[in-house]
Chain A
């Protein structure tokens, strides 16, 4: 199997996982799906590196390792821990129903493919799917972020959005200095860590993790 078909397959799976995350109501399942998606994405820099030189370089291995440690192991375990210690395990009454959000998600995927077709890349990439999959992952993350109530799900939406940016970054493995990539990973980690702390405080303050009670601040 060539690197290109492998990449294509992985990217298709990534979209399916995105839609799956929109459909599940159990918070823990959502986190596991995110971990699986990140695992698939961690493999991509290796495929990208291998397609050019035969063996992935140090740069690609470091990025894959960092993603693996951070997004597959560390962040999901922190999120799962919060869910386990909390009382509520399900997303209840989202703004947009589960079926409706999957439908909206499918529309967004179609939209991203249409948009990507109008933005040709200057040089042919490893896989033509990279730009549309990146865009749809980003948009579906945004959809999760705005349509769900639980703070945990909103964090998950942000992480999916970040995964979309990561896929786009695959096009640029050569251009980006390692220092910058590691900085990005570090910032992501600290950001999610802070979010976890705030979620914990929200739960302590309000006895649950709904964000719709966070509406005291507005123009009166």
Chain B
């Protein structure tokens, strides 16, 4: 019942958005839909027991955690939309309906236990996201949309082939193995190892395209740079988590089948490549939204490296997934605010935010520090956790590359973005006269949505309520490679203050 509600609530409100006559009513429906979804998600905690082997949908620890993160992000974004909204060429109805359809598809993704169903949900999510990217119309948005649509379609087609390969791996066993995660894990030793490997690699490439892992990230800066910033927030914090869930499901099956080391080293390879790529492109970036997109590539890399290392790394990966959602949400909200102030994506056009709008400046500085992994923000602890996990596993090359690339990204982001925060604001003459001043209530709405996420990132970094910690630990346990489970729990307590 809860599961049905979770998928249906956003769809019903999305349909309402299509039919309601006036703009304020539609906006209310969007906010109500997102918050009703959050309410249902919160009521579903604590989860019942794990889903049975043959159930197509169910709430397992991993899916439940991701579902909650996505729901929080959508609730914040819905509020932000109220402040951000302005008349644009594409129909507002379609835009809001697609936003809620995206939430519904991501929900279906998080609760689906069957790999085929997971694929259908992920593909639906990327289809629902396409009109959102095209929101601004014009040639640049068109180019971003085309690249997103084509690359993601090819990516998910490869992921489907990967899932088919896993299905072929099950035919070695005489009895029937259903393609649900639980059943696959239960029969893991009876799967054909070579087809399982093929399946994992194809799935990693396919879902990795959707997640934006290098070298399949090339759509990401375009899409995040051209989509409206709140949409970029949804994609960087929400859709990427969905794709990550797909990779993790396959990883769970692989580690149960004794291929954990094989799958883990591919995850680490893709992760380090993503980190290195983002380090190369962050330095000397001239467009702040593309800069943020590259930090998203970086954080995706951190996520998969963490899970690939296993042990304490799995917990750090889950922690990082949570803080990535909070941080990317806040950063893209602030980018939207800056865009409304300056009508420009270029870093050199945005100067002296601290003097022009002190709250925005402080929030931007805090969010930038958080994204670079400075203490006391949560990402510091998750990245430290991954460093410790690498040291524990004795993988010094991974550790060295990881720290080096994080340092380069830190320098790149700070040199590009500090003048945006400090510096002198452009003189009044330079401000283009045609732009309408932003109404105060819009400013307050936009900034408070960002402030809540920044505060959550700070608060959850400093101290974790037991419930959050429990949820993270259970999710980490479910993706952990079996042999290192006890070590993980022991070392995690040291990382956390």
Known A184-B119, A217-B226: A123·B150 in contact at CB below 8 Å: no
Beta-carbon contact of A191 and B153 below 8 Å:
yes
The A46-72 residues at the B interface (CB cut-off 8 A) are: none
Beta-carbon contact of A121 and B171 below 8 Å:
yes
At the interface, yes or no: B440 with Cβ under 8 Å from chain A? Answer: no
Residues in A neighbouring B119, C-beta threshold 8 A: 180, 184
Beta-carbon contact of A194 and B127 below 8 Å:
yes
Beta-carbon contact of A180 and B114 below 8 Å:
yes
Known A171-B164, A194-B130: A158·B153 in contact at CB below 8 Å: yes
CB-contact partner of B140 in A123, A145, A217, under 8 A:
A217
- Report the minimum CB–CB distance from B489 to chain A (whole Å): 36
At the interface, yes or no: A93 with Cβ under 8 Å from chain B? Answer: no
Residues in A neighbouring B117, C-beta threshold 8 A: 179-180, 183
B interface, how many residues as a size bin? 35 or more
Residues in A neighbouring B160, C-beta threshold 8 A: 165, 184
At the interface, yes or no: B179 with Cβ under 8 Å from chain A? Answer: yes
Beta-carbon contact of A194 and B149 below 8 Å:
yes
Beta-carbon contact of B116 and A217 below 8 Å:
no
Chain B residue at minimum C-beta to C-beta distance from A155 = B150
The B107-144 residues at the A interface (CB cut-off 8 A) are: 114, 116-117, 119-120, 123-124, 127, 130-131, 134, 138-140, 142-144
Known A122-B171, A122-B192, A220-B286: A175·B179 in contact at CB below 8 Å: yes
Beta-carbon contact of A183 and B120 below 8 Å:
yes
A172 to B225, CA, bound (A): 40
A88 to B169, CA, bound (A): 46
Beta-carbon contact of A145 and B154 below 8 Å:
yes
CB-contact partner of B164 in A169, A190, A194, under 8 A:
A169
At the interface, yes or no: A119 with Cβ under 8 Å from chain B? Answer: yes
Beta-carbon contact of A216 and B143 below 8 Å:
yes
Q: With A177-B114, A180-B117 given, name 20 new contacts (CB 8 A).
A: A122-B172, A123-B171, A145-B150, A158-B150, A158-B153, A165-B157, A165-B160, A171-B164, A175-B171, A183-B116, A183-B117, A184-B119, A187-B124, A190-B127, A191-B127, A195-B150, A198-B142, A215-B143, A216-B140, A217-B147
Sample (16) of A-B pairs whose CB atoms are under 8 Å apart: A119-B194, A158-B157, A161-B157, A171-B168, A175-B167, A175-B170, A180-B117, A184-B116, A184-B119, A191-B123, A191-B127, A191-B153, A201-B134, A216-B139, A217-B140, A217-B147
Closest 9 CB pairs between A and B? A180-B116, A122-B172, A183-B120, A214-B143, A187-B123, A217-B222, A122-B192, A123-B171, A172-B167
